[in-house]
Amino acid sequence: MTCAVYIMANTNRTVLYTGVTSELANRVAQHKSGVDRSSFTSRYNAHSLVYYELTNDITTAIRREKQIKGWTRKKKIGLIETLNPDWRDLAEDWDGSVSL
């Protein structure tokens, strides 16, 4: 099973949401569609996937998610910008499936 730790952001980069999932494409689609209107990402319009990393172990993914959540905002931004300096929505070209 492939698991992902991911970060969603709003368009002005003021909100960062870190999550973990075993189905990245589906989870990002849920965030983007606002399925759960009471969720953090829906409430704050954090609909851009700006970072993700993959692992084959859910325990490792959860540990990494907790690690990132404990970081300062500055450190999270540094992580994002090492792989995505332009803060592109990494999911914008997906066709509903992701080759992970």
Question: Average pLDDT of 67-88?
Answer: 97
The dihedral through the CA atoms of 85, 44, 94, 97 has a sign that is positive
Could you give the domains of the chain? Answer: 3-83 (3.40.1440.10)
Residue 22 clears pLDDT 90, i.e. is over it: yes
pTM of the model: 0.89
Q: What is the pLDDT of residue 100?
A: 42
Name residue 23's amino acid: E
If one compares 95 and 58, the residue with the highest pLDDT of the two is: 58
Q: What is the pLDDT of residue 42?
A: 80
